[in-house]
């Protein structure tokens, strides 16, 4: 098992080396940023207004669609997951504090990428034989790239890697793994109980299975109610911790910035990290967290009931901001200010490091993190199962998605008991394979994104 883990880690390191996938992601996001005229900056106030207006607006979803806020909630359910708790921890342990700077850079251009993905998802969505709408890269690649000999293989490649990534990657096993480990950490810290990993694994598996039986309507309804509450719970806890340690914040910023451009020295159990490791860890975990460029979120955003595709595009901007700039940054400050990231006993950790860090200032914090981890993991699992089944549906038809749901649920249990290095390496590796055909599609369709953006904003629709 150790040899297999090392082999997976080696391939993962190659895919996420700075001059491969991180560079492609940053170049794609940068190109969209330029062609849309800094849409993520200029239209951010509009994104905030539209999200809050949609949150308090009476549902107007039609058959086969969900409301814009439900689409955001479903997408956020998938992005604000244990990547925000465990993924940030592993980014720091692999790449040092400088990894967080590159996570921010990934988010800055990722907001434009997510805007384009959501916009294209709506513009090229289709109606399946079941009467349900379906959207995502496999549809905007086939519908938007005028070369069938290129479009068809790319679309099928995305659907294949998307279906596999949703089964084995960060949307499934990495979530149940972090849920189980934070549960065990809380039981040990608060109640002095040694709980086996399979016990919380069974709990999360049963709950996920019950929700998945209801399809997208139930998933969206659960996400709409659950996501805002879980984000607020985690942010309030994090803010309390930061206020208690506010004098450490300037030093944390300085540490993050300085080590983004210079190697991190070995400290305690932390073995040190090169700048290349910081870039790779920051971008890979950033994408793992906010999913910008993966092509997963437009599967949900694309079926929102909106008047123009750009409306859902700006909602995608807000999604990345909440996920990475807010939630991930909070986690990073907690871990770095606690000093536990250099502790030898936490060098193979994920969410349990975040729980232990919070506990240094807040009693029973590990219980709060366990609850948040369960909610984050649960919401991500149901969202990513929907993504995976839509990829599976594209390849094999609508009548076989029940088989996919059963397999997905079974792998939730497996993920809860395997090792941390293996589960995160599998997740980020599959993310890279999934992102590649999507990014090629985005490159071809950046002209369409620009055209639809100008069409919407130059007509003054955003003021109506």
* Per-residue confidence (pLDDT) for residue 224, from 0 to 100: 67
Residue 410 within a domain: yes
pLDDT digits (tens, 9 = 90+) for 312-349: 999 899 989 988 888 889 999 999 999 999 999 888 77
Residue 22 within a domain: no
pLDDT-wise least confident of 52-61, 293-302, 398-407: 52-61
Residue 4 within a domain: no
Q: Which residues pair with 127 in a beta bridge?
A: 133
- Does 125 have pLDDT greater than 90? yes
Q: Measuring CA to CA, which residue among 285, 259, 283, 287 is closest to residue 273?
A: 259
The average pLDDT across 378-382 equals 79
Reduced to 3 states (helix: H, G, I; strand: E, B; else coil), residue 66 is strand
Q: Measuring CA to CA, which residue among 239, 335, 277 is closest to residue 18?
A: 277
Structure-derived torsion over alpha carbons of residues 25, 30, 32, 33, reported in degrees to the nearest 10: 140
CA dihedral over 431, 433, 436, 438, signed as positive or negative:
negative
Whole-prediction pTM value?
Answer: 0.86
Alpha helices of 80-214 — where are they, by DSSP H? 88-95, 98-123, 137-144, 148-168, 173-191, 198-212
Residue 16 within a domain: no
Look up the domain containing 74 and give its range: 36-449
- Does 272 have pLDDT greater than 80? yes
Secondary structure percentages of the chain, helix, strand, coil, to 5: 75, 0, 20
Residue 25 within a domain: no
Looking at per-residue pLDDT, the higher value among 376 and 323 belongs to: 323
Residue 250 within a domain: yes
pLDDT digits (tens, 9 = 90+) for 409-461: 888 888 887 776 777 778 778 888 999 999 999 999 999 999 999 999 987 66
Query: How many structural domains compose the chain?
Result: 1
Q: If phi over 0 gives left and psi between -120 and 50 gives alpha, with beta otherwise, what is residue 460?
A: left
Name the token pair of 163.
Answer: 């279906």
Of 51-55, 65-69, 149-153, the range with the highest mean pLDDT is 149-153
Residue 445 within a domain: yes
- Does 60 have pLDDT greater than 60? no
Looking at per-residue pLDDT, the higher value among 66 and 375 belongs to: 375
CATH number (domain holding residue 431) = 1.20.1740.10
Instruction: Please classify residue 362 by burial: count the beta carbons closer than 10 Å to its beta carbon, then call 0-12 exposed, 13-18 middle and 19+ buried.
Output: middle
């Amino acid at each position: 098992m150790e040899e297999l883990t090392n082999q997976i880690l080696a391939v993962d390191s190659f895919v996420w080396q700075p001059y491969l996938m991180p560079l492609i992601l940053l170049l794609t996001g940068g190109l969209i940023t330029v062609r849309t005229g800094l849409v993520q900056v200029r239209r951010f106030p509009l994104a905030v207004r539209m999200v809050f207006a949609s949150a308090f607006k009476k549902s107007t979803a039609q058959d086969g669609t969900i409301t814009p806020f439900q689409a955001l909630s479903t997408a956020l359910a998938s992005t604000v997951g244990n990547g925000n708790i465990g993924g940030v921890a592993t980014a720091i342990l692999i790449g040092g504090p400088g990894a967080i700077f590159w996570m921010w850079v990934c988010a800055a251009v990722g907001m434009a990428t997510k805007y384009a993905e959501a916009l294209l998802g709506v513009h090229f969505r289709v109606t399946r034989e079941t009467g349900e709408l379906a959207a995502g890269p496999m549809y905007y690649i086939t519908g938007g790239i005028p070369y069938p000999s290129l479009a068809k293989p790319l679309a099928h490649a995305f659907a294949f890697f998307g279906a596999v990534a949703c089964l084995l990657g960060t949307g499934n096993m990495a979530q149940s793994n972090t849920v189980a480990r934070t549960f065990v950490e809380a039981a040990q810290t608060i109640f002095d109980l040694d709980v086996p990993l399979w016990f919380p694994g069974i709990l999360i598996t049963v709950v996920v299975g019950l929700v998945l039986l209801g399809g997208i309507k139930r998933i969206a309804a659960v996400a709409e109610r659950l996501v805002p509450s879980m984000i607020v719970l985690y942010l309030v806890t994090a803010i309390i911790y930061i206020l208690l340690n506010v004098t450490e914040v300037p030093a944390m910023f300085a540490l993050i910035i300085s080590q983004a451009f210079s190697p991190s020295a070995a400290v305690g159990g932390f073995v040190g990290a090169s700048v290349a490791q910081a870039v790779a860890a920051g971008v890979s975990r950033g994408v793992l967290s906010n999913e910008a460029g993966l092509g997963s979120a437009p599967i949900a955003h694309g079926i929102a009931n909106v008047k123009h595709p750009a409306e859902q595009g700006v909602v995608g901007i807000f999604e990345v901001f909440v996920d990475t700039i807010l939630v991930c940054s909070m986690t990073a400050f907690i871990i770095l200010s606690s000093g536990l990231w250099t502790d030898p006993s936490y060098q193979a950790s994920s969410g349990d490091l975040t729980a232990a860090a919070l506990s240094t200032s807040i009693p029973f914090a590990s219980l709060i993190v366990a609850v948040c981890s369960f909610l984050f993991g649960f919401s991500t699992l149901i969202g990513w199962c929907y993504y995976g089944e839509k990829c599976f549906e594209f390849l094999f038809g609508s009548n076989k998605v029940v088989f996919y749901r059963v397999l997905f649920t079974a792998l939730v249990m497996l993920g809860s008991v395997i090792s941390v290095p293996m589960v995160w390496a599998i997740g980020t590796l599959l993310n890279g394979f999934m992102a590649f055909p999507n990014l090629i599609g985005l490159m071809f369709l950046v002209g369409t994104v620009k055209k639809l953006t100008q069409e919407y904003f130059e007509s003054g629709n955003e003021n109506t």
